[in-house]
Amino acid sequence: MGNSGGSLTARSTGGLHQLMRAAGFTGIDDNKALAEGWQVTDFADAGQHSLAYLVRHTGAPAVLMSFHDSDVGFVEALTPDGTSWEGLLNRETAESYDIPLDHFPVEPAVAGALAWSAAAGLTPDEQAIRQTLTASALFAEELSAALLAALGLPGTAQPPQARVRPST
């Protein structure tokens, strides 16, 4: 059985775990530092408004990825000015779970990701974002890592392309 929790990527100068707990996150793991104050933290579960609470209290943008058994990833991103977007990772596998793909259209997700990255002061790669949102991988977490790199998050590296393949 795979991961059914999630990961939060946020910029914070400290006290992120305390803010995450106050926002309704549970099962919080250690932070992995990226660069320029960005951190990735795995968690077991999050509340419906956890991302909004966290962004409001940190005053910084964040990306939340929720995983369904490591097969599918649901992406939510938000900035303090309200720029937000949603996406789906591993669409082909999501379809086998009867997840309605029309609820997660690719082009609005790409446009939202580009706007979110710009609002977060990052330099995104539009082609890599689109590829990640349409690609397939054995584990959704592989696509998650590729998406963070495509969004321009400092300290992330694009995973090997051999593991992340375009969807057919």
The answer to pTM > 0.95 is no
How confident is residue 3, by pLDDT bands cut at 50, 70 and 90?
A: low
CA distance 64 to 73: 10
Distance of CA 125 to the CA centre of its chain: 15
CA distance 113 to 63: 10
Of 10-14, 35-39, 164-168, which range is least confident? 164-168
CA distance 66 to 6: 4
For residue 104, pLDDT over 60 is answered with yes
